[in-house]
């Protein structure tokens, strides 16, 4: 529409700077990841053999292409450690996302049912913990979950357990940490759709004879599906690649892919394998990422 175009002519130029920035610092680096994932490990600084050296001319370039190797990827597929890491990452992400939905939905629903004035307050209350550092929030849980931490003290005082429970370095601790850190990401999109929903619809459903659970299941829930989708993707994708939470709260006998990547990179200094792991992770997440992009676009560009 030309109405938009009048305004759009100059607005288009606004894209130049961020566009160049994102190309340079977001897209181009993936090229490097891909390139290095195909090169050989070397004990040097940087710890890989460069595959391309454009200054060396065409012949060298051809040789370089010949030298490209998929060894790193072969390693990822053949070595159980990596396969397990991917499987574990996906399992953890699915479980944690399900937990988040289960916990987040009632909270979001409660928020949406508050009187309008209180909704804003509740929203701020949900967002504020998100503003406090992620690392700090994990650290707070270490405080609580450690051997003589608050949780065990309470459990002992209530005589629910006879001796301290080992919480740290377990999957339970990790799930607590993940749910705790990602809860606002689940609640907010859910709340956004639930709050937009007309309460009249639920009233109409019960007027037409639906008992409360049917009202929820046949009207409320289906209408909140866009929010569910956004919340699930917003949690699932980053959890798959999560590093800090499993590293600090879960045990070290089974690693998630984020940890493996970190380990290869910082401890084993095997950059090519780390790069290959990142590429595989990206491929695994491609579908949810694209879904998320579409959702985000639709949400932000409605009415265009």
Partner 1 sequence: MTDELPRTDAAADAVGETQSAASEPLLRIEGVAKTFGTFRAVGGVSLDIKAGEFFALLGPSGCGKTTLLRMLAGFEAPDEGRILLGGKDIAQALPHERPINMMFQNYALFPHLSVRDNIAFGLKRAGMVRADIATRVAEMVALVKLEGLEKRKPDQLSGGQRQRVALARALARRPQLLLLDEPLAALDKKLRESTQGELMELQRRLGMTFIIVTHDQEEAMTMASRIGVMRDGKLAQVASPRELYEAPRSRWIAEFVGDINLFDGESKLRDGHRLVIGTRDAGALVVAEPREPVGAGKFSVAIRPEKVKLSRRGPVSEAGHETAINRLDGVVADICYLGGTTTYKVKLDTGGMIQASVANSARLDVDAYSLDQHVVAWFTPDDCVVLPS
Partner 2 sequence: MRKVSRLSRFNVASLALGLAFLYLPILILVIYSFNASRLVTVWGGWSLRWYHEFFGDRAMIEAAWMSLRVAVSSATIATLLGTLAAVALSRGEQFHGRTLFSGMLYAPLVMPEVIAGLSLLLLFVALNAERGFWTVTIAHTTLTMCFVAVVVQSRLGSLDRSLEEAAMDLGCNPVRAFLSVTLPLIAPAIVAGWMLAFTLSLDDLVIASFTTGPGSATLPIRIYSEVRLGVKPEINAICTLVIALIAVVIVIASLASKLSSSRGESAAPL
d(CA 269, CA 43): 8
Q: Scan residues 52-91 and list those touching partner 2 (CB under 8 A).
A: none
Does position 169 interact with partner 2 (CB under 8 A)? The reply is no
* CB nearer partner 2, residue 159 or residue 304: 304
* CB nearer partner 1, residue 7 or residue 213: 7
**Could you please report the per-residue DSSP string of 153-209?**
HHHHHTTS-SS----TTSHHHHHHHHHHHHHHHHHHHHHHHHHHS-HHHHHHHHHTT
Q: CB within 8 A of 212, min separation 6: which ones?
A: 206
Beta bridge partners of 48: 41
Longest CA–CA separation in the chain, Å: 79
Q: How far is the CB of 235 from partner 1 (least distance, A)?
A: 36
d(CA 196, CA 194): 5
Interaction partner, residue 296 (partner 1, partner 2, none; CB < 5-8 Å by kind): partner 2
Interaction partner, residue 159 (partner 1, partner 2, none; CB < 5-8 Å by kind): none
Interaction partner, residue 157 (partner 2, partner 1, none; CB < 5-8 Å by kind): none
Q: CB within 8 A of 103, min separation 6: which ones?
A: 179, 183, 186
Q: Which stretch binds partner 2 (CB under 8 A): 57-65, 67-75, 113-121, 217-225?
A: 113-121
* CB nearer partner 2, residue 36 or residue 64: 36
Interaction partner, residue 8 (partner 2, partner 1, none; CB < 5-8 Å by kind): partner 2
* CB nearer partner 1, residue 4 or residue 74: 4
């Amino acid at each position: 529409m030309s109405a938009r175009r009048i305004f759009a002519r100059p607005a288009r130029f606004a894209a130049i700077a961020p566009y160049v920035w994102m190309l340079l610092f977001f897209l181009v680096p993936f090229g490097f990841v891909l390139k290095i994932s195909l090169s050989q490990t070397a004990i040097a600084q940087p710890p890989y053999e460069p595959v391309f050296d454009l200054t060396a001319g065409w012949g060298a370039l051809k040789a370089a292409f010949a030298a490209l190797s998929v060894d790193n990827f072969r390693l990822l597929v053949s070595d159980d450690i990596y396969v397990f890491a991917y499987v574990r990452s996906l399992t953890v992400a699915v479980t944690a996302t399900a937990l988040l939905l289960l916990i987040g939905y009632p909270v979001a629903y409660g928020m949406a049912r508050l009187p309008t004035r209180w909704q804003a307050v509740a929203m701020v209350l949900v967002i504020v913990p998100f503003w406090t550092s992620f690392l700090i929030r994990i650290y707070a849980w270490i405080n609580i979950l450690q051997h003589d931490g608050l949780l065990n003290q309470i459990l002992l005082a209530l005589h629910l357990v006879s001796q301290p429970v080992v919480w740290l370095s377990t999957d339970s601790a990790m799930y607590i940490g993940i749910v705790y850190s990602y809860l606002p990401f689940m609640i907010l999109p859910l709340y956004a759709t639930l709050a937009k929903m007309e309460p009249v619809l639920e009233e109409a459903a019960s007027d037409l004879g639906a008992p409360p659970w049917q009202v929820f299941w046949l009207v409320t829930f289906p209408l909140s599906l866009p929010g569910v989708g956004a919340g699930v993707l917003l949690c699932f994708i980053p959890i798959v690649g999560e590093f800090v939470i499993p590293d600090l709260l879960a045990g070290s006998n089974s690693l998630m892919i984020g940890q493996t990547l970190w380990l290869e990179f910082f401890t084993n200094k095997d950059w090519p394998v780390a790069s290959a792991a990142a590429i595989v992770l990206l491929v695994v997440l491609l579908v949810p990422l694209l879904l998320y992009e579409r959702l985000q676009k639709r949400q932000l560009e409605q009415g265009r």
